[in-house]
Structure 1
Amino acid sequence: MRPLITQGEIEMLKRDLDMPGEQNLVGIDVYETLHLLEMRRQTAKLELTKRALENKD
């Protein structure tokens, strides 16, 4: 079972959805932008985890 969605996650999503519009992105450009940003976030999380595991040894 997945964890419940938090208010902070909703606020972050709203900011994420507003930002491309402020940059005049529309349609597929918004989707691609959000997808790339999520990939960057996931990569950053993996890097932090990797560093934490390396430092633990």
Structure 2
Amino acid sequence: MRPLITQDEIEMLRHDLDMLEEQNLVGIEVYEALHLLEMRRQTAKLELIKRVLENKA
């Protein structure tokens, strides 16, 4: 079971959609851009965790 969606996540999604709209992206382009943004965010989180663990060693 996945965790519930938070208000912060909704606000971040709205902000992302507004920024993508400014770039005139439509349809599947928006979905693909959101997917890439999420992958970048997950990569950044993993890199941060990696650095913290390396500093503790």
Q: Give TM class, smaller chain.
A: 0.7 to 0.9
Residue in 2 aligned with 1:23? 23
Q: Which runs of 4+ in 1 moved over 4 A?
A: none
Q: Percent identity?
A: 82
* 7-16 vs 36-45, greater mean Cα deviation: 7-16
Quote how far apart the aligned CAs of 1:4 are: 3.2
Residue in 2 aligned with 1:39? 39
Alignment RMSD? 1.2
TM-score, normalised to structure 1, is: 0.86
* 25-34 vs 2-11, greater mean Cα deviation: 2-11
Unaligned runs of 5+ in 1: none
Aligned residue pairs total: 57
Unaligned runs of 5+ in 2: none
